[in-house]
Amino acid sequence: MSYKKEFIEFMVRSGVLTFGDFTTKSGRKTPYFVNTGNYKTGAQAARLGEFYAKSIMENGKGDVDALFGPAYKGIPLSVATAIALSNEFDKDLNYCFNRKEEKDHGEGGSMVGYKLQDGDKVLIVEDVITAGTAVREVFPTLKGAADVQIEGLIISVDRMERGQGDKTAIQEIETEFGIKTYPIVTVREIIDTIHNVEIDGKVYIDDAMKARMEAYLAEYCVK
């Protein structure tokens, strides 16, 4: 079993990849949702970090200086991924994340963890991109911390949706900031992998759900 298939099944079993009626941060009504905030055990965090680490290594991004996890969901993702890279691939990378509100006492500032240095290569670790809103918010934070080189963005799922124009959010991020996004899986891979396939005795994407997802893709996604 490929790690992509394992990851899709892991998301379903963890209650992270769910199907029904939802509204995304961009306001779109969607029949499926990915919420990494539903991971809640140490075992899940360890496994999740392993999937991110595998994707990072597969895409040749294991030699960066630091992982950055945008608050809030990116915080445990960056930590779990750093641990997995150390344990599984002998890559002891720095990690850091931002505060939502800048601290005005103690050491102060908006960053926690590794102190970014000019010239550092940084990889952003995030959950999902829909319209790219959250990602745009962290670029000023990173560039304000140091003159870093952003090597890319690792995410759980590429929803393959349009951003603010006719391109996908991922394509817009690449055009606007010059960085590539590396998803562990895409929504198309999710459909192709578990359509009419049982996971622990239940089919999550039957013909009706597939039709709803395909309709959503037709409306919001870029071919």
Out of 5, 61, 91, 103, the active site residue is 103
Q: Could you tell me which residues are annotated as the binding site?
A: 25, 72-73, 99-100, 103, 105, 126-134, 159
Reply yes or no on whether 105 is catalytic. yes
pLDDT, tens digit, for every residue of 156-186? 999 888 877 788 888 888 888 888 999 999 9
Out of 29, 40, 91, 105, the active site residue is 105
* Residue-range definition of the domain harbouring residue 155: 3-220
Nearest to 50, CA basis, from 85, 23, 74: 85
Nearest to 93, CA basis, from 116, 119, 70, 126: 116
pLDDT, tens digit, for every residue of 2-32? 999 999 999 999 999 999 999 887 788 999 9
Tally of domains within the chain: 1
Reply yes or no on whether 195 is catalytic. no
Tell me if 199 sits within 8 A of 189, measured CB to CB.
no
Q: Could you tell me which residues are annotated as the binding site for 5-phospho-alpha-D-ribose 1-diphosphate?
A: 25, 72-73, 99-100, 103, 105, 126-134
CATH code assigned at 111:
3.40.50.2020
Mean pLDDT (the chain, rounded): 90
pTM: 0.90
